Amino acid sequence: METQFTVPEPTREEIDALPGPVVLEFGTDWCPHCQALQRPLASLLGQFSGVRHIKIEDGKGRPLGRAFRVKVWPNLVFLRDGKVVAQLARPSGDEVREGLVAVTKEQPPANGAS
């Protein structure tokens, strides 16, 4: 799991060209909802080791967030081979798990935490 924001942020074209399962995480360091998601997201991403995670700082004038119509943080975009499979705003741990299952088409171990 990425703990630092990607600088500079990738372009939409670069994101669309990424192969395999990817999760884009839009948010900011100061957002309490973003902070609350970090631990459960890290745990879940640990169960789905084949998923690439890209953390993107969002805000006014940030083109990638606008390209995905991000309005609420944290916002997770689940992609497979550059195509959006799911997008969640302020997701619960169960919703994140469902997004990861959808993007990977696999189930994590039953004893994993959410």
Instruction: Report the DSSP beta bridge partners of residue 90.
Output: none
Strand 83-89 to 52-57 pairing: unpaired
Residue 105: pLDDT band with limits 50, 70, 90: confident
What's at 81, amino acid-wise? D
User: Is the model's pLDDT at 58 over the cut of 80?
Assistant: yes
Task: Encode pLDDT of 61-98 as tens digits.
Answer: 899 999 999 999 999 999 999 999 999 999 999 999 99
Which strands make up the sheet holding 52-57, listed edge to edge? 52-57, 21-27, 75-80, 83-89
Are 52 and 23 a contacting pair, CB within 8 Å? yes
Lookup: tokens for 27: 């948010």
- Enumerate helices (H) and strands (E) in the chain, giving the number of each: 4, 4
pLDDT at 113 over 60: no
Distance CA 58, CA 26 (A): 6
Report the predicted TM-score, pTM, of the whole model to 2 decimal places: 0.89
Confidence category of residue 114, pLDDT binned at 50, 70, 90: very low
**DSSP secondary structure code for residue 77 in this structure:** E
Give the chain's domains with CATH numbers.
Answer: 12-104 (3.40.30.10)
Distance CA 62, CA 51 (A): 24
